[in-house]
Amino acid sequence: MHDQTSQRVLLLSAGIDHSLIQQIPLGIPPLQFAHVVVDTLLQRGTLEDAHHAIESILQATKQYLGYDGRSRCETIIQALQTSSPQE
């Protein structure tokens, strides 16, 4: 996630609304990008499909991670799903 294009691709592949993407600066350093994305998505709560916004980015991020990272994402996703049931 070192450049604007890959950051945009991640957000789009996660199904993040275009209006929300416009709130996220692109082309910033990866760690800063991660912080901004997490903060923005946590403030948003859910997307139009009723999934947690943070769940969507975790799902999209898994393809870039190794086994341990994917496992951590799955743990967080399961916790999100059990903490507030989807309709």
In the chain, where the domains are located:
4-83
Q: Which of 35, 48, 50, 40 is nearest to 20 (CA)?
A: 40
Residue 4 structure tokens: 């604007």
pLDDT in tens, 24-33: 999 999 999 9
pLDDT above 70 (res 86) = no
Task: List CB contacts of 58: < 8 A, sequence separation 6 or more.
Answer: 73, 76, 77
Q: What percent of the chain has pLDDT over 90?
A: 71
* pTM of full prediction above 0.75: yes
CA distance 58 to 56: 5
What type of residue sits at position 12? L
pLDDT in tens, 42-53: 998 888 878 889
pLDDT above 70 (res 15) = yes
